[in-house]
Structure 1
Amino acid sequence: MTELGELPEGCIAVILSRTTPLDVGRLSLVSTTFNSAAKFNDVWNRFLPSDPHLISSTISQCPSLANNPSKKALFLAMSDSPIIIDNGRKSFQLERKSGKKCYMLSARSLTIAGIDDIYSWYWTDTPDSRFTEVANIRFLRWLEIRGMINTTSLSPNTQYAAYLVFKTIHAYGFDKCPVVLSVGVEGGHIDTKIVCLDPNVQRRPSNRRFNHTLVGLPRPSVRSDGWLEIEMGEFFNSGIEDENIQMNVIEIMSGMMKASFSLEGIEVRPKVDN
């Protein structure tokens, strides 16, 4: 019986292409033959999106790839940092370990109630944002943000989660009222969760004035890019159905005034087991 390591490099490359980018990296250490096969374009082509627009967008932002466009280099570029697409309204990135697609919908691509009211919202450019503009709450009582993404743009057979990405610097009002987040198929079942968007609110009451409705609610966490995020919900993309996934952020019940909240967008990325 032929040992796996005795197979031709081409055969090993075919086997590697049926795994994941993480597995290819690990298996490339097995032997020089595996290492050589792991560099084949056919291997990394399997991990790249089939959409030529995404490929061309990546090359346009990384001109060096045009001179040496190996499939591995292209994959690493697409997984290394977000690529701005759709005229600056979205970003795209490949998840490094699995090669699955990730998207962030910018604030400009979301439906925000009252966004044209200059007394409620305003736009600013923020150096630490991947997008040219973020939406900021000036003063408002009713918060309503809605986003949508079609499952055909995502990786099939994948469990996804949506995350609200934002900042609160001396935020006002979010320490006193919970916010409802929801994710689900448009026109179908939508899962909801109640959260607290103020990361500075204590999880347990420390005085009589503490709003007990916020005790024990999920809180946002700090991302590697310095922004806050909180999971809105999950959904499974089978890759069979052409469906629109609706993602909502709602707080219209308390009537509490809110301020000093910056919205970067909603990110949709694969769930990764820890």
Structure 2
Amino acid sequence: MAGILSLPESRIADVIFFTSPRDACRLACVSTTFKSTADSDVVWDRFLPPEYASSPRPSLSKKELYLRACHNPVLINEGKLSFWLDKPTGKKCYMISARELTIIWVDNPLYWTWISLPEARFPIVAELNRVCWFEISGTINTSLMSPVTTYVVYLVFKRTQYFFGFDSSWDHRVEVTVGLTGSDGQKRTVYFHSDQGDIVYGDDHGRIPQTRGDGWLESELGEFFYGGDEEGELSISILGIHGGHWKGGLVVQGIEIRPKSE
């Protein structure tokens, strides 16, 4: 340790940069020398993506700017995407707004309604009244993602008091495909209810909605590894059409893509 502490600050900064934001915070607790370097703009500027190269708030340090980017998602692409950074890794995260998704029958008020909710990130979200043919799809360009990252895809939603038609019976299943456009993709069955006891078939036990810190629910749709060289779009398809059953009472905020937890 003494040998490392004798290095110039710029060399210590180089060492810290090849760790992670989480490790930089840990190293800041080792000694006053490490803290000075680990909290410096030189280190945290390297953890920030190019979008934050020139801060609109010069009074903030680079570390403060990084933490703001983690805790305060911003709308980009004309409000079509919500963007933030994963706090432990600094990797990019996104949510595709419901307005940007392709939702079958969404413009027919008999089946879907556009509503505003104060707790949503976007000005409007989509509320399902009732449909037999439940289909949602969306895409995001892989160039927006952080390289060498396994991303997990989630549907972010709420259930209203009129929620129905999404139980775990085989005829009510919702099938999902996640993968590069044009590929077979990863396929699985997902659930929007929370009754684990009814899930008895296949290897899908436990794939039920989880409550998020922001009060919404999320159902995991699949995973996608982005190495950095794959060009094109990540495509997500959600389909619930089996049995011709009516279903409703779902409020869709969007589809979220974030790094898999380590």
Same fold (TM over 0.5): yes
1:218 and 1:241 map into 2 onto residues whose CA distance is 28
Listed as ranges, the matches of 1:118-157 within 5 Å are 118-157=109-148
In structure 2, the partner of 1:63 is none
In structure 1, the partner of 2:9 is 9
Give secondary structure in 2 for the equivalent of 1:152: helix
In structure 2, the partner of 1:20 is 20
Select 1:194's aligned residue among 177, 189, 194: 189
1:202 is displaced (CA, Å) by 4.7
1:178 is displaced (CA, Å) by 1.2
Instruction: Note closer, same or farther for the CA distance 1:120–1:46 as it changes in structure 2 (3 Å cut).
Output: same
1:217 is displaced (CA, Å) by 6.2
Listed as ranges, the matches of 1:88-237 within 5 Å are 88-170=79-161, 171-175=163-167, 177-199=172-194, 201-204=195-198, 216=205, 218-237=207-226
1:104 and 1:68 map into 2 onto residues whose CA distance is 28
* Letter paired with 1:162: V
> 4+ residue stretches of structure 1 with deviation over 3 A?
none
Listed as ranges, the matches of 1:250-265 within 5 Å are 250-265=239-254
* Letter paired with 2:228: G
* Letter paired with 2:192: L
1:137 and 1:261 map into 2 onto residues whose CA distance is 5
Is the 8 Å Cα contact of residues 178 and 197 (structure 1) preserved in structure 2?
no
1:154 and 1:107 map into 2 onto residues whose CA distance is 20
Is the 8 Å Cα contact of residues 196 and 206 (structure 2) preserved in structure 1?
no
Give secondary structure in 2 for the equivalent of 1:4: helix
1:155-200 per-residue CA deviation (whole Å, 9 max, x = no partner) reads 000011100111112301112511111201100121111122112x
* Letter paired with 1:218: R
Matched, 1:29 2:21: no
Give secondary structure in 2 for the equivalent of 1:108: helix
Select 1:71's aligned residue among 62, 74, 77: 62
Is the 8 Å Cα contact of residues 17 and 42 (structure 1) preserved in structure 2?
no
Instruction: Note closer, same or farther for the CA distance 1:202–1:270 as it changes in structure 2 (3 Å cut).
Output: closer
Give secondary structure in 2 for the equivalent of 1:105: strand
Q: Which moved more, 1:43-52 or 1:100-109?
A: 43-52
1:239 is displaced (CA, Å) by 0.7
Instruction: Note closer, same or farther for the CA distance 1:2–1:190 as it changes in structure 2 (3 Å cut).
Output: same
Give secondary structure in 1 for the equivalent of 2:15: helix
1:29 and 1:71 map into 2 onto residues whose CA distance is 18
Unmatched 5+ stretches in structure 2:
none
Unmatched 5+ stretches in structure 1:
60-65, 206-210
Is the 8 Å Cα contact of residues 196 and 208 (structure 2) preserved in structure 1?
no
* Alignment root-mean-square deviation, CA: 2.2
1:157 and 1:216 map into 2 onto residues whose CA distance is 29
* Letter paired with 2:151: Y
1:151 and 1:216 map into 2 onto residues whose CA distance is 30
1:20 and 1:192 map into 2 onto residues whose CA distance is 32
